[in-house]
Amino acid sequence: MDASELHTPVMLERTLGLLAPAIEAATAAGRTPVVVDGTLGMGGHTEAMLAAHPTLVVAGIDRDPDAIRLAGERLARFGDRFRPVQATYDRIDLALEAAGADAADGILLDLGVSSLQLDAADRGFAYAKDAPLDMRMGQAGDVTAATILAERDARELARLFKVYGDEKLADRYARAIVAARAERPIETSAQLVDILQAATPRAVANQGHPAKRVFQALRIEVNQELAILERTMPAAIDALAVGGRLVVLAYQSLEDRIVKRALQAAASSTAPRDLPVELAEHAPHLRLLVRGAELADDAERAANPRSAPVRLRAAERIRPVHPSDDRPHREEQS
């Protein structure tokens, strides 16, 4: 399996363009630039960055061992300029350690489910393919989509579908699932799709696939995606060197809300309104690089349908969060 044939990176040129000034500044300063690709996937963004910047080191994080293996094969030609890290993407500290750096010149987070996981028929992520209801991105841990459907009561399932899927029929679907599992365990994606389709009123049956939001909610819960993202955003901001840049690609509103809130908070003054002069410790430590959230253009949406929901946000670190945080890279300390 060739990763380059399976994966088309989303908003690739825009992402590279946003990260390039920080990488080039590090190079001009005479040190090795370091980027953390927090969501490595099959390595498309990392490959393009390594090819564009001959001295760049990228530490790529992914919890999925298959992604680490496939990306490693794709990026083998770059030698030790690529450093794989198998972990969840909040472990930016592990990526910096692998890169031999104390701060990153760039951090990329391409959120959501990867092409590898969507296209792997046996992983249960896609409602269009019959497979065991697993949905674990890292294939570790005991909680799967099937165990959630088996163990949560109707109220818990409905809350899950409402909060993580914004599903208007959440209560109806939850009751249908509880009734169906009383007859036999719900273990495959086809079973779940049949239950949801049968529970969908005819009046709304043509308003999108009934499983889309339920599958999204289950995937988010299985992998604790939003909890990890909540931890990742402050860790990523803190891990940036002054002048370093963070680019985040989000694919649904819950993710984008977390990203937006974290970036706006770090880009705003914390000084009390009645303070006559803003003290240094109250000044923003990020500068937003794009206005609002950018979307993929029409040409990319046509060429790569998975780019359709993407929202891109980016920021640059302009000062230390704390006075002691203006950290040089380790190679500068020797």
Residue 267 clears pLDDT 90, i.e. is over it: yes
Confidence label for 92 from pLDDT (cuts 50, 70 and 90): very high
Q: Per residue in 130-186, pLDDT tens?
A: 889 988 887 667 899 999 999 999 999 999 999 999 999 999 999 999 999 999 999
Q: For residue 100, with 0-12 CB atoms within 10 Å meaning exposed, 13-18 middle and 19 or more buried, which class applies?
A: middle
Binding residues: 43-45, 62, 89, 110, 117
- The mean predicted confidence, pLDDT, of the chain is 88
Binding residues for S-adenosyl-L-methionine: 43-45, 62, 89, 110, 117
Which domains, ranges and CATH numbers included, belong to the chain? Answer: 3-116+225-333 (3.40.50.150), 121-223 (1.10.150.170)
What's the pTM value of the predicted model, to 2 decimals? 0.87
Cα end-to-end distance, the chain, whole Å: 42
Contacts of residue 128, defined as CB under 8 A and 6 or more positions apart, other chains included, come to none
Q: Is the dihedral of CA 289, 235, 319, 32 positive or negative?
A: negative
Confidence label for 127 from pLDDT (cuts 50, 70 and 90): low
Residue 332 clears pLDDT 50, i.e. is over it: no
| pLDDT for residue 167 | 94
